[in-house]
A and B are shown apart, each in its own frame.
Chain A
Amino acid sequence: MATAKDYVEKGLTSEYEAGFVTDIESETLPPGLSEEVVRFISERKQEPEWLLEWRLAAYRHWRTMKLPEWAQLMIAPIDFDGISYFSAPKSRADAPKSLDEVDPELLKTYEKLGIPLHEQEALAGVAVDAVFDSVSIATTFRERLREAGVIFCPISEAVRDYPELVKKYLGTVVPPADNFYATLNSAVYSDGSFVYVPEGVRCPMELSTYFRINEQNTGQFERTLIIADKGSYVSYLEGCTAPMRDDRQLHAAVVELVALEDAEIKYSTVQNWYPGDEEGRGGILNFVTKRGTCLGARSRISWTQVETGSAITWKYPSVVLRGEKSVGEFYSVALTRNFQQADTGTKMIHLGKDSSSTIISKGISAGRSQNSYRGLVRMTPTATNARNFTQCDSLLLGSTCGAHTFPYIENQAQGTTIEHEATTSKVAEDQLFLCQQRGIDAERAVSMIVNGFCRDVFRQLPMEFAVEAGKLLEVSLEGAVG
């Protein structure tokens, strides 16, 4: 009779559903990185002098930096001079004014991914800023947002149209010299999203961006900046998927969030980039720096992520809690299978009095994958009466994978309460037996049990994303059992 172990050890074999390459002519810079490349990018984007200098300073600093090696990851050497740092669809020169003008090939790509742009305008409450390779090509719902006073546009446009805002906040949360990948991003970032929600405004819809990596050997260096002014609220959704290819692809995005007094930002991600094949060939290298600052009193930043894709994930969405009574949250599900590696977690840096943070992390490892939680909770001396609660759970499917937990807890403040719990488990034989006794097949049972394990995180996602996330887990677990 098949046991739980037998089912899960058969390995995960479901084919990557979004694996195809769009045939579109791209204008791509030859591989390599130099000051000239940085200047070229800046010039193509018609950027002001200050931004060029900012990029150049980052580039010069990056040249002096070393690749970080502390993560629990096996990374093959990356040839940073073998990467092309700029690529744009050719038709960019005369950018489409409406969806009708969008390249039909591209629209087909999105349709395959289940993001039918034509229908998106009709989709209630969702505006999409679709990024194809490095340049934003279609933005919808801009009008309705403008009525509310919300700015949602490609960051390259924001540099042109709202230079004061960009200049004031760009690089304040993730400084250009922050870390190897963030510094690289600062030098060569192509495009990304910019959001500004004015004082007292509750953003009338969920803002959403779908990223897509297309050009072979093209690094993706998005830069996102979201500013929530006093008393405002915004929920931002990010979903990703990428076509199948053999060469490793580097992705080093930077996301900066700024929440002023009483403002709230919810940032949700479902990441399903190409994870590589069953032998561990190919797949996206996802080295992302995401950080938010709760600048004002009672401000709130919440990160929710569901990470099922990428060959390697190196990602620590963090919150710096400066404001009094500010709140930081991190909810994460990371599922790894085959040869995937994930080293993910968060940092909660408490500076404000009475600030509080919550961390819920669920790691699921299967196949020969390695899944690590790495987190930091730091209470600085000014963070009197700060609180943190952390729950880190790991679920192992099969005996060839690994699950790891590396939490750092540093306390220098008075009156703090910190609770950290971590557990490791597997799908219990008797849980599986109960399901089977009730006539539920093993694959469905494991998927249900894993979904239950992740419930506390899925609950944090906006409705449509929660459904998508549940489905994603199911697809990812296909073949894991039976």
Chain B
Amino acid sequence: MAGSINWLRPQVVKAEQRFAAGEGAWALEPESWKYTRIAEFLPEAPELAPTPIKELNGLEDWEDVRAEDFRSLEPESQTLIQEHIAKVKHPLADLNLARLDHGLLIRGGTGTKSRTHVDFPARAANLACRRLVVYAEPHSHIDILESGNSTTGLQNLVIHLILGCGASIKHYRSSGGHGRAWTLIEADIAKDARYELSSLLYGTQRERVECRLNLLGEGASLDTRHLLLGRERERKDLQMGIRHGAPNTRSRHMMKTLAADHSQITLRGRVHIEPECPGSDAELNIRNLLLGGQSRINAKPELEIYTDDVACSHGTTYSEIDAEQLFYLSSRGIPERKASELLLKAFAYDCLFESDAAIPLNAPAIERIEGMAA
């Protein structure tokens, strides 16, 4: 495929400079790095010479969606990216931009319905920097099915979603693989728009997902479900920042974990309700099922509230497989292993994908759950 992203050059150069200067240093939010070492998500030799853009493959259009490579964008779309790309502020996002391999834009035209399957292929590179920009114009509807294996090296992925008034996005993520992965999902959700995120994090040695989800217009809503599976010495870190920045916004969050062996899972859910946002309604739930072994699960559900007329709550539980349920199933002749498999799947059930198109993406996660049954 011909073309280049030279049109993005000024932004790339600035990102390089910011990254090299350590601007917006990690120290800005040491709290969020309490359980995870940032070094795990930095390239071993961070020399920042721009790498040549590689051929992109693995993008498949399901319907009439406009999903375009950065290298073949119309000038209008280029302007759109230039406008929005610097709005994502994070040192690792600067690294992402400075070393960008793949850039993708998904646009949903006003009033349209579309679906896109994004599959980032496995790569053996030391560092793979990918960026997905999703621009949902007012009253558009986009389904995103995102699957793909991280590289054996380090993947740095930034997903930036911009939702116009009344737009809706359903985003299904299925993330496995063997290497290290850092992902930032940033969503700006306008009036009456809705973002639904379902995410299965089942592979990858070191994985950290940071979500910054901003409800910016009245009536905006948000629904997230995350299932994290840990085994062996895997370490997973999910950081959720939810900002209610407008009246009558609503958000629901569910995080579930299954941790075995020596794995470590860290969950942080931060609900922030800004001043003068009456009618905000947020609920955050964390459910951890302990499977034995030497695993460690850290949870930090936070509320930060500056408006009085809100309904806001969170709940966290740690528990084991219910011995009575297990006994009940056994008494009906189900072998114990099978019974515990059933109970684990039942636990994970409401985090699995329901949409017909996304159901096939459940398979690797289900397989992993089955393997965790004792």
- On whether A and B touch (CB less than 8 Å), the answer reads yes
Q: Which B residues lie at the A interface, using CB under 8 A?
A: 31, 275-276, 278, 288, 290, 292, 294-320
Query: Can you name the residue of chain B whose Cβ is closest to the Cβ of A395?
Result: B308
Quick check: is A424 within 8 A (CB to CB) of the other chain? yes
Given A411-B288, A424-B310, A403 and B316 contact (CB-CB distance below 8 Å): no
Given A408-B298, A422-B313, A402 and B304 contact (CB-CB distance below 8 Å): yes
Interface residues of A in 409-451 (CB under 8 A from B): 409-412, 414-426
**Contact present for B316 and A412 (CB under 8 Å):** no
**Contact present for B294 and A423 (CB under 8 Å):** no
A-B pairs, top 5 by smallest CB distance, nearest first, are: A396-B308, A418-B318, A420-B316, A424-B312, A405-B303
**Contact present for A409 and B316 (CB under 8 Å):** yes
- B292 contact set on A, CB distance < 8 A: 414
**Contact present for A407 and B290 (CB under 8 Å):** no
- B309 contact set on A, CB distance < 8 A: 399, 426
Q: How far is the CA of A415 from the CA of B320 in the complex (A)?
A: 6
The residue that B297 contacts in the complex, of A5, A404, A411, with Cβ under 8 A, is: A411
The residue that B318 contacts in the complex, of A408, A411, A422, A426, with Cβ under 8 A, is: A411
**Contact present for A416 and B301 (CB under 8 Å):** no
Q: How far is the CA of A70 from the CA of B31 in the complex (A)?
A: 8
Q: How far is the CA of A421 from the CA of B301 in the complex (A)?
A: 10
Q: Which A residues lie at the B interface, using CB under 8 A?
A: 5, 70, 381, 394, 396-412, 414-426
The residue that B296 contacts in the complex, of A400, A410, A421, with Cβ under 8 A, is: A410
Q: How far is the CA of A398 from the CA of B299 in the complex (A)?
A: 30
Q: How far is the CA of A398 from the CA of B309 in the complex (A)?
A: 9
**Contact present for B303 and A409 (CB under 8 Å):** no
Query: Nearest chain A CB to B299's CB is how many angstroms away?
Result: 4
**Contact present for A420 and B290 (CB under 8 Å):** no
Given A399-B275, A416-B290, A409 and B320 contact (CB-CB distance below 8 Å): no
- B320 contact set on A, CB distance < 8 A: 415, 417
- A409 contact set on B, CB distance < 8 A: 297-300, 316, 318
Q: How far is the CA of A416 from the CA of B290 in the complex (A)?
A: 8
- A400 contact set on B, CB distance < 8 A: 275
Given A70-B31, A381-B294, A423-B312, A399 and B318 contact (CB-CB distance below 8 Å): no
Please give 13 more A-B residue pairs, beta carbons under 8 A apart, in addition to A70-B31, A404-B305, A409-B298.
Answer: A394-B305, A399-B307, A403-B303, A403-B305, A404-B303, A405-B304, A407-B302, A411-B290, A416-B318, A424-B305, A424-B313, A426-B308, A426-B309
Query: Can you name the residue of chain B whose Cβ is closest to the Cβ of A376?
Result: B300
Query: Nearest chain B CB to A118's CB is how many angstroms away?
Result: 46
- A396 contact set on B, CB distance < 8 A: 305, 307-308, 310
Q: How far is the CA of A17 from the CA of B292 in the complex (A)?
A: 56
**Contact present for A414 and B302 (CB under 8 Å):** no
Query: Can you name the residue of chain B whose Cβ is closest to the Cβ of A400?
Result: B275
Interface of B is mostly: strand
Query: Nearest chain A CB to B309's CB is how many angstroms away?
Result: 6
**Contact present for A423 and B313 (CB under 8 Å):** yes
Given A410-B296, A412-B294, A414-B290, A421 and B303 contact (CB-CB distance below 8 Å): no
Given A399-B308, A412-B296, A405 and B318 contact (CB-CB distance below 8 Å): no
**Contact present for A422 and B308 (CB under 8 Å):** no
**Contact present for B308 and A406 (CB under 8 Å):** no
The residue that B317 contacts in the complex, of A70, A381, A418, A422, with Cβ under 8 A, is: A418
Query: Can you name the residue of chain A whose Cβ is closest to the Cβ of B312?
Result: A424
**Contact present for B304 and A420 (CB under 8 Å):** no
**Contact present for B31 and A399 (CB under 8 Å):** no
Query: Can you name the residue of chain A whose Cβ is closest to the Cβ of B297?
Result: A411
- B315 contact set on A, CB distance < 8 A: 419-422
Query: Nearest chain B CB to A446's CB is how many angstroms away?
Result: 13
- Can you list 30 pairs linking A and B with CB atoms under 8 Å apart? A70-B31, A381-B294, A396-B307, A399-B309, A400-B275, A401-B306, A402-B304, A405-B303, A406-B300, A407-B300, A407-B301, A407-B316, A408-B300, A409-B297, A409-B318, A410-B297, A411-B297, A411-B318, A415-B290, A415-B320, A418-B318, A419-B317, A420-B314, A421-B315, A422-B301, A422-B303, A423-B313, A424-B311, A424-B313, A426-B309
**Contact present for A421 and B313 (CB under 8 Å):** yes
Among B290, B305, B308, B314, the most chain A Cβ lie within 10 Å of the Cβ of B308
**Contact present for B296 and A411 (CB under 8 Å):** yes
Query: Can you name the residue of chain A whose Cβ is closest to the Cβ of B299?
Result: A409
Query: Nearest chain B CB to A269's CB is how many angstroms away?
Result: 25
- B295 contact set on A, CB distance < 8 A: 412
Query: Nearest chain A CB to B184's CB is how many angstroms away?
Result: 23
Q: How far is the CA of A401 from the CA of B306 in the complex (A)?
A: 6
Q: How far is the CA of A426 from the CA of B312 in the complex (A)?
A: 11
- B313 contact set on A, CB distance < 8 A: 421-424
Query: Nearest chain B CB to A78's CB is how many angstroms away?
Result: 22
- B319 contact set on A, CB distance < 8 A: 417-418
Query: Can you name the residue of chain B whose Cβ is closest to the Cβ of A408?
Result: B300
- B302 contact set on A, CB distance < 8 A: 404-407
Query: Nearest chain B CB to A82's CB is how many angstroms away?
Result: 29
Given A407-B300, A410-B298, A420-B301, A397 and B308 contact (CB-CB distance below 8 Å): yes
Query: Nearest chain A CB to B191's CB is how many angstroms away?
Result: 22
The residue that A401 contacts in the complex, of B296, B298, B303, B308, with Cβ under 8 A, is: B308
Q: How far is the CA of A70 from the CA of B301 in the complex (A)?
A: 17
**Contact present for B304 and A422 (CB under 8 Å):** no
Q: How far is the CA of A308 from the CA of B316 in the complex (A)?
A: 29
Q: How far is the CA of A408 from the CA of B267 in the complex (A)?
A: 10
Q: How far is the CA of A417 from the CA of B295 in the complex (A)?
A: 15
- B299 contact set on A, CB distance < 8 A: 408-411, 420
Query: Nearest chain A CB to B232's CB is how many angstroms away?
Result: 16
- A424 contact set on B, CB distance < 8 A: 303, 305, 310-313
- A417 contact set on B, CB distance < 8 A: 317-320
- A401 contact set on B, CB distance < 8 A: 306, 308
- B311 contact set on A, CB distance < 8 A: 424-425
Query: Can you name the residue of chain A whose Cβ is closest to the Cβ of B265?
Result: A411
Among B288, B296, B303, B317, the most chain A Cβ lie within 10 Å of the Cβ of B303
Query: Can you name the residue of chain B whose Cβ is closest to the Cβ of A424?
Result: B312
Q: How far is the CA of A422 from the CA of B283 in the complex (A)?
A: 10
The residue that A398 contacts in the complex, of B288, B301, B308, B317, with Cβ under 8 A, is: B308
Among B276, B288, B304, the most chain A Cβ lie within 10 Å of the Cβ of B304
- A394 contact set on B, CB distance < 8 A: 303, 305
- A404 contact set on B, CB distance < 8 A: 302-305
- A407 contact set on B, CB distance < 8 A: 300-302, 316
- A406 contact set on B, CB distance < 8 A: 300, 302
Q: How far is the CA of A75 from the CA of B302 in the complex (A)?
A: 22
Query: Nearest chain A CB to B312's CB is how many angstroms away?
Result: 4
Query: Nearest chain B CB to A268's CB is how many angstroms away?
Result: 27
Query: Can you name the residue of chain B whose Cβ is closest to the Cβ of A381?
Result: B294
Query: Nearest chain A CB to B271's CB is how many angstroms away?
Result: 9
Query: Can you name the residue of chain B whose Cβ is closest to the Cβ of A398?
Result: B308
Q: How far is the CA of A415 from the CA of B275 in the complex (A)?
A: 41
Q: How far is the CA of A424 from the CA of B320 in the complex (A)?
A: 29
- A414 contact set on B, CB distance < 8 A: 290, 292
- B297 contact set on A, CB distance < 8 A: 409-411
Query: Can you name the residue of chain B whose Cβ is closest to the Cβ of A429?
Result: B309
Q: How far is the CA of A282 from the CA of B264 in the complex (A)?
A: 46
Q: How far is the CA of A399 from the CA of B308 in the complex (A)?
A: 5
The residue that A399 contacts in the complex, of B276, B288, B296, with Cβ under 8 A, is: B276
